[in-house]
Structure 1
Amino acid sequence: MLAAVGQPVPNTEHAVSVSLPSWKATVGYERGEDWVVSKMKTGYPRFFIHLTIQELQTEILNLYGRPGESVMLFPSAATAMRCQRFICDRAEGLEPGSVRVLQLQPVVSQKKSVETTLSSLACVFFPKEHFAVAKQVWQHSGDGISSRRGEFCLKALKDGLLRPVATPSSSSPSYAKPGHDDFYHKGPRRYQRGASRNGVHHDAFSSTTNSTSTHTPLSERALAHEPTTTPPVDVDADAEDRDHAQFVEERFGRNLNVKLATQAKLAIRRRISGCLTDDSDLDQALANSRDESSGRQRGLSEDDVYLYPCGMSSIFNTHRILLAHAEAKGEEPRRSICFGFPYIDTLKILEKWGPGCQFYGFGSSACLDDLQKRLEGGERFLALYTEFPSNPLLNAPDLIRIRQLADKYGFAVVVDETVGSFINIDVLSHADVVVSSLTKVFSGDSNVMGGSAVLNPQSSWYADLKHLMAREYEDNYWAEDAVFLERNSRDFISRIERINVSTEAIASTLKSCPLVKQVYYPKYNPSRPNYDACRTPNGGYGGLLSVTFHHPEQAVAFFDALEVQKGPSLGTNFTLACPYAVLAHYVELDWVASWGVDPDIVRLSVGLEEPDDLTGRIERALKAAENAKTGE
C-alpha cells in the first residue's frame, strides 16, 4: 500500500524517505504549498530536520538561548565550529559574538568505569534570520546529529543528564536569559545542586564567540577531536552513575554498550574493505581473521575504511582533509574539479568551501580533452570528484584516462561509488579515495544514515592521507546508528545480486516501449565501455535507472500510475521512484536541462520485489502513459 503525502517511507520513526506519491505532491513540496508541507511527518534527513531534533532544538533554546536566536546541533565541537565559521563568513550584518558554540556533556562520575555509550552535543546559536545560511551546513556537510542521537540527547537533557561543560575561567553563565538566573538548574531535583571543586562553581560554562576580522586556517579549525564515548563531566556522586545507567538501559536496552557499537563498526568496515565476501552476521564478521590479500585491493584492510554520519559527510570531510593537506604543504589554494553531472550537494560543497570548482557537467571525452589542455597550459587542481555511475544519468566516466592525468599532474581522484556499489564495480584501483553513502543499498532498509571513505593503499597520496586522517578524523558515527546499519548490511551482497537481475528486466521493458524517449542505464548508455572496464567479474549494472518520455504528460501519467513508493533516496529494499529534476532542482530546471538532464526525467530505484511483479507494475504504468492526453 502506498504511503500518504508526508508519511515516512518506510513507516518507521527514523525513516530516511518520505512519501510524495504524485507529481503534483512533489511540485507542491518544492513550492512550499501548505497542503503538502503541513502533512510532512519527516523528510530526507539532510533536507528536513527530524521532528525529534526540532523538539531538542526547542528545549535547548528554552534553556540556553537568547531572544531572537535559532540553533543547529552537531555531534562535536569541531563540526560545530565549522558551522560557526561558515555562518560568520556568509551571513551579512552579524554582530560580534552573535554566533556562538555551547558544548553539552553527559553527567557521569569519572570514578566508575562507564560501559554504556555516551553522547555530547555541540550547539551553534545564531540570529534566527540567518537560519537559511546555517541550514546550508546541515544539508551540504551532512555533519549534523542523526535522529537517533537526537532522541537519546533529548531524553538525557530532560532527565538532567546532559549539561554545559564546566570551565575554570567562568563562574557564572555569561549568556543567561534575562530574568532566568537559575535556568541552568532546570531538570530533576537531584541535579539542582551545584557541585564545587577548588572554589570553582561546577555549573559554569563558556561559549566560543565568532570573529569576523581574522581568518583561521582550515587545519586549525578542524583539529578538535572527540571520540564517540566523550569523556563525561565529573560530578563526584554515585547517584548520578546509577541514574545514568538506568537511563541508558531504558533507552537502549541491555545490549547497546560501547563494546557492541565498536564491534558493529568493525564489522561494517570489514564488509566495505572486502574482507568479507559472503553474507554474514556479526559473530561471523568478527571471527574472520584479518586477511588483506582477500580484500578489494592488495594491502587494503578495515583500517583504511573511515565511517561518517552519512555519504555527503564522507565527501565533505574528504574535501576538507585534502584542503588541509595542501595547506600543510604550504601550497597556494587550488580549485577542485567536479566531473560529470553529480548529485546536487557534491557540487555545492566544492563551490562553497575552498577556492572553487571547475565543473564539467557532461563528463565526456571532450571534457577530458579540455581538462588536459588546461593542465598542459599550467593550470593545476587539488582533486577531481566524480560519481561512478552518475546520478541520475548513470554515465560512467573514463577513470583510466582520469587516473593517467591525475598521476601526471598531481591531483587526487575521489570517486563516489554509491550508485554502482563495490559488489558490481572496482573503482578503488583508479582512485585515491572512494566515498559512498551507506544509507543506500548497503543498508537497504531506509531507516538509518551512514557513509564511508576508503583510502587506496596503492595510491601515491596514501601515506600523506593516512597521516592527515590520524590527525583530523573524528568518529562521529552514532553508536545506535552503527548497530542498525550493521544488522541491515548483513545480506547486502545477495540483495545486490537480486536487484541487478530485476533492474535489467525493467530496463529492457522500458527500452522496448515506443512512448519512451530514452532509458538511462549503464548497460545501455554510450559510456558502457567505461563501466565495463571497472565491472567486477560477477558484477551487474546496479539497481538505478532513469527514463524520459516523448511528452511531459506521459511522464506525469506514468509516474502517478506507478504502483511503488515515491520519494527521495535510492538503494532501498523496496522500489522507490521520484521525478528527479523536479525534486532535486526545481528552482533551476533550465540549468539542469543545459547539462542534458530532462526536467521531466523519472528515476527508479529497484527493490527486492519479484521481477515479474515489478514488470507488471511497469507495464500498467506505461498503459496509463499511453492513455495520457498530450499537448501535441
Structure 2
Amino acid sequence: MLAAVGQPVPNTAHAVSVSLPSWKATVGYEEGEDWVISKMQTGYPRFFIHLTIQELGREILKLHGRSGEDVMLFPSLATAKRCLKFFYDKVEGLGIGVVHILQFEPLHGGSRSHAMTFSGLSCVFFPKEYFSVAKQVWQHTGDGISSRRGEFCLKALKDGILQPVVTPSTSKPEDMYTKGPRRYQRPGSRNGIIHDLPTSNGLTSNEANGDTEDKDHGQFVEERFGRNLNVKLASQAKLAIRRRISGCLTDDAELDVSLAKSPPQNDGRQKGLSEDDVYLYPCGMSSIFNTHRILLANAEAKGHPPRKSICFGFPYIDTLKILEKWGAGCLFYGRGSAACIDDLTRRLEAGERYLALFTEFPSNPLLNSADLSRLRVLADKYGFTIVVDETVGNFTNIDVLSRVDVVVSSLTKVFSGDSNVMGGSAVLNPQGKSYGELKAAMAREYEDNYWAEDAVFMERNSRDFIPRSERINVNAEAVAAALQKYPVVKQVYYPKCSPSRANYDACRTPNGGYGGLLSVTFHHPEQAVAFFDALEVQKGPSLGTNFTLACPYTVLAHYAEMEWTSQWGVEPDLVRLSVGLEEPDELAGKVARALRAAEVARV
C-alpha cells in the first residue's frame, strides 16, 4: 500500500524518505503549499530537520536561548565551529557574539567520559532571520546530528543529565567555542570530543588495556537512558562496516561470529586495502564535504595558494554547492564528456592548477560515467586529487578505487537498503601516488562523529548487501529494457545503454552489473506526469532502497533552477526510478500499467 502525503517511507520513526505520492504533491512541497507542508511528518534528513531534533532545539532555546534566536545542533565542537565560521564568512556586518556556541556534556557517575556512547552536543545560536544560512550548513555538509542522536540527547536533557559548559568571552569569531572541562582533554581527544577508536579486535584502546570502567559506564547508560548502547557493540559495528567496505568481510552471520572469522587485513577489494583506509561519516554528503575540507586543510598546511576544485559531470545538487561555497570556487563541467577533458587539458597546459576533481560514477540522474583513465593521467601529471562518488554504481559492480585517490559513498543507499539510517564513507586508495600524504592529512583532520546507534543499525542492514545488490541489478536491467520498447518513452538513462557505457565497462567488476538507478523521459510533459502518478511504487526522495522508489527528480531537486538544469541535459520532466527487490513479474506489471497510462495521456 502506498503511503499518503507526508508519511515516512518506510513507516518507521527514523525513515530516510517521505511520501510525495503524486506529481502535484511534489510541486506542492516545492511551492510550500499548506496541503502538503502541514502533513509532513518527516523528510530527507538533510533537507527536513527531524521532528525530534526540532523538539530538542526548542527545549535548548527555552533553557538557554536569547530573544529572537534560533539554534542548529551539531555532534561536536569542530562541526559547530565550522558553522559559526560560515556565518561570519557569508553574512556581512555580524557583530562579535551575535552567533555563538554552547557546548553540552553529559554528567557521569564515574570520573571519566567514554565517547563511544556519548560525545556531547554543540549548539550554534543565531538570529532567527538567518535560519537559511544555518540551513545551508546543515544541508550541504551533512554534519548535523542524526535523529537517533537527537532522540538520545532529548531524553538526556529532560533528565538533567546533559548539562551546558560555560564558554569564556572571546574577541574573535573563530574562537567562540570551548574545548570543554579539563577532564575531557585526554589522549584520543580532539576539540573536546573523545575518540576512543577501536583496535583490530573491535575493542577500544581502553578495553584492550583492560579498563574495567567501560562496563560500569555501559550499565550507567542503559539504566539512566533506558537504551541498550553498549560501548563494545558500537565499536565492533563500526569495525565490521569498515571491513565490509574494504572487502575483508563478506560473512552475513552475527557480528561477533563475523568478526571472529574475518582477519584484520587481506586483499579483499583491492591489493593492500584494509579497514584502516576506510573512514565513516554521519551521511554520504558529510563524507564528500569532509574530504573536500581535509584536502583544503592539507593544501593550506603545505603553503599552497588557494585553488579551485573541478566538478566533472552533472552531479547531485549538494556536491556542486560544497565546491562553490567552501574554498576558492569550482570549475564546472556539466557534461563530463571527452570534449570537457580536452578543455581541461588545455587549461592545465596553459598553467591553471586545481585542488581536486570530484565526479560521480555513474552520475545522478543521467547515469553517465567519466573517462577515469584520461583523468588519472592528467591528475598524475598536474598534481590534483581525484575523488569519486560511487554511491550509484557501488563497489560490488564497479572498481573505481584503483583508478582514483579517494572513493566516497552514501551508505544510506543500497549498502543499507532499509532506508532507516544514514551513513557515509571515504576510502583511500592504498596504491595511489598521494596515499601517504592523504593518510597523514586524515590523521590530523578526521573526526569520528558517526553516532553509535546509527552504526549498529547500519551494520545489521548491510550484512546481505552483496546478494541484495545482485538482485537489484537484475531487476533494474529488466525495467530499463522494458522502458526502451515503448514509443511513448523519449529516452532511458542507464549505464548499460549510455553513450559512456565503455567508461563504465572499463571499471566493471567481473561479476558486476549496472546498478539499480535509472531515469526516463517522455515526449510530452503530461505523459511523464501520467506515468509517475500511475506507477504503483513508493514515491519520494532517496535511492538504493530495498523497495522501488520513484521521484520527478528535476522538480524535487532543482525546482527553482530547471532552466539551468536543461542546459546540461537534465530535462524538467525527468522521472528517476530506484529499483528494488520486488519479484520481477510484479515489478514488470507495475511499469507496464504506468506506461499504458502515459500512452493515453494525450489521446
TM-score range, shorter chain: over 0.9
SS of 1:6's equivalent in the other structure is coil
CA drift of 1:562 comes to 0.2
Q: Is the aligned partner of 1:394 residue 2:367?
A: yes
Unaligned runs of 5+ in 2: 178-188, 198-214
Contact 1:308 1:450 in 2 (8 A): yes
Unaligned runs of 5+ in 1: 166-204, 217-221, 231-240
Match of residue 39 from structure 2: 39
Q: Write the distance in 1 (CA, Å) between the matches of 2:223 and 2:414.
A: 31
Q: Write the distance in 2 (CA, Å) between the matches of 1:568 and 1:466.
A: 34
Q: Is the aligned partner of 1:226 residue 2:193?
A: yes
1:271 to 244, 250, 254: 244
Alignment of 1:144-163 (within 5 A): 144-163=144-163
Q: Write the distance in 1 (CA, Å) between the matches of 2:275 and 2:549.
A: 31
Match of residue 290 from structure 2: 317
Q: Write the distance in 1 (CA, Å) between the matches of 2:138 and 2:562.
A: 24
Q: Write the distance in 1 (CA, Å) between the matches of 2:322 and 2:518.
A: 25
SS of 2:542's equivalent in the other structure is coil
Q: Write the distance in 2 (CA, Å) between the matches of 1:613 and 1:210.
A: 64
Q: 1:114 to 1:569 in 2, by over 3 A?
A: closer
Contact 2:249 2:262 in 1 (8 A): no
Match of residue 574 from structure 1: 547
- Provide Cα deviations, 1:90-141, integer angstroms capped at 9, x if missing partner: 1234222111111100000333786982230000001111110010000000
Q: Write the distance in 1 (CA, Å) between the matches of 2:301 and 2:574.
A: 44
SS of 1:102's equivalent in the other structure is strand
Alignment of 1:169-188 (within 5 A): none
Q: Write the distance in 1 (CA, Å) between the matches of 2:524 and 2:240.
A: 48
Structure 2: which amino acid aligns with 1:372? T
Contact 1:308 1:452 in 2 (8 A): yes
Structure 2: which amino acid aligns with 1:25? A
Q: Is the aligned partner of 1:537 residue 2:510?
A: yes
CA drift of 1:215 comes to 13
SS of 1:103's equivalent in the other structure is strand
Contact 1:515 1:626 in 2 (8 A): yes
Structure 2: which amino acid aligns with 1:440? K
How many residues were matched structurally?
575
CA drift of 1:629 comes to 2.5
Q: Write the distance in 2 (CA, Å) between the matches of 1:115 and 1:405.
A: 43
Larger radius of gyration: 1
Q: Write the distance in 1 (CA, Å) between the matches of 2:143 and 2:258.
A: 28
Q: Write the distance in 2 (CA, Å) between the matches of 1:494 and 1:264.
A: 20
- Provide Cα deviations, 1:229-257, integer angstroms capped at 9, x if missing partner: 79xxxxxxxxxx99995663464544x21
Match of residue 270 from structure 2: 297
Q: 1:366 to 1:109 in 2, by over 3 A?
A: same
Contact 1:270 1:285 in 2 (8 A): no
CA drift of 1:598 comes to 0.8
Q: 1:144 to 1:115 in 2, by over 3 A?
A: closer
Q: 1:358 to 1:223 in 2, by over 3 A?
A: farther
Match of residue 29 from structure 1: 29
Identity of aligned residues (%): 74
Q: Write the distance in 2 (CA, Å) between the matches of 1:347 and 1:281.
A: 39
Alignment of 1:98-497 (within 5 A): 98-111=98-111, 117-165=117-165, 205-206=166-167, 211=172, 224=191, 226-227=193-194, 245=219, 248-249=222-223, 251=225, 253-254=227-228, 256-290=229-263, 292-497=265-470
Contact 2:544 2:578 in 1 (8 A): yes
CA drift of 1:371 comes to 0.2
Worse-superposed segment, 281-290 or 349-358: 281-290
Contact 1:339 1:359 in 2 (8 A): yes
SS of 2:413's equivalent in the other structure is coil
CA drift of 1:459 comes to 1.0
Q: Write the distance in 2 (CA, Å) between the matches of 1:601 and 1:513.
A: 16
SS of 2:293's equivalent in the other structure is helix
Contact 1:100 1:210 in 2 (8 A): no
SS of 1:334's equivalent in the other structure is coil
- Provide Cα deviations, 1:19-53, integer angstroms capped at 9, x if missing partner: 00000000000010111000000000000000000
Q: Write the distance in 1 (CA, Å) between the matches of 2:297 and 2:290.
A: 10
Q: Is the aligned partner of 1:615 residue 2:588?
A: yes
Contact 2:71 2:123 in 1 (8 A): yes
SS of 1:523's equivalent in the other structure is helix
Contact 1:100 1:208 in 2 (8 A): no
Structure 1: which amino acid aligns with 2:332? F
1:521 to 487, 490, 494: 494
Contact 2:18 2:42 in 1 (8 A): yes
Contact 2:107 2:162 in 1 (8 A): yes
Q: Write the distance in 1 (CA, Å) between the matches of 2:169 and 2:71.
A: 14
Q: Write the distance in 2 (CA, Å) between the matches of 1:92 and 1:112.
A: 42
SS of 1:558's equivalent in the other structure is helix
Q: Write the distance in 2 (CA, Å) between the matches of 1:225 and 1:607.
A: 42
Q: 1:115 to 1:23 in 2, by over 3 A?
A: closer
Q: Write the distance in 2 (CA, Å) between the matches of 1:228 and 1:43.
A: 31
Q: Write the distance in 1 (CA, Å) between the matches of 2:257 and 2:304.
A: 46
Contact 1:507 1:545 in 2 (8 A): yes
Contact 1:23 1:579 in 2 (8 A): yes
Q: TM-score, normalised by structure 2?
A: 0.92
Q: Write the distance in 2 (CA, Å) between the matches of 1:340 and 1:115.
A: 40
Worse-superposed segment, 290-299 or 505-514: 290-299
Q: TM-score, normalised by structure 1?
A: 0.88
Contact 1:100 1:207 in 2 (8 A): no
CA drift of 1:500 comes to 0.4
Worse-superposed segment, 457-466 or 111-120: 111-120
Structure 2: which amino acid aligns with 1:518? Q
Contact 1:341 1:595 in 2 (8 A): yes
- Provide Cα deviations, 1:470-524, integer angstroms capped at 9, x if missing partner: 1111110000000000000000100000000000110010011110000000000
Q: Write the distance in 2 (CA, Å) between the matches of 1:159 and 1:55.
A: 15
Q: 1:526 to 1:408 in 2, by over 3 A?
A: same
Contact 1:293 1:299 in 2 (8 A): yes
Q: 1:209 to 1:364 in 2, by over 3 A?
A: farther
Q: Write the distance in 2 (CA, Å) between the matches of 1:247 and 1:286.
A: 25
- Provide Cα deviations, 1:550-598, integer angstroms capped at 9, x if missing partner: 0000000000000000000000000000000000000000000010001
Structure 1: which amino acid aligns with 2:395? F
SS of 1:294's equivalent in the other structure is coil
Q: Write the distance in 2 (CA, Å) between the matches of 1:244 and 1:259.
A: 9
Match of residue 480 from structure 2: 507
Contact 1:115 1:257 in 2 (8 A): no
Contact 2:110 2:217 in 1 (8 A): no
Q: 1:213 to 1:146 in 2, by over 3 A?
A: closer
CA drift of 1:297 comes to 1.0
Match of residue 209 from structure 2: none
CA drift of 1:290 comes to 2.7
Match of residue 525 from structure 2: 552
Q: 1:252 to 1:615 in 2, by over 3 A?
A: farther
SS of 1:560's equivalent in the other structure is helix
Worse-superposed segment, 565-574 or 287-296: 287-296
Q: Is the aligned partner of 1:4 residue 2:7?
A: no
Q: 1:291 to 1:124 in 2, by over 3 A?
A: closer
SS of 2:303's equivalent in the other structure is coil
Q: Write the distance in 1 (CA, Å) between the matches of 2:541 and 2:324.
A: 24
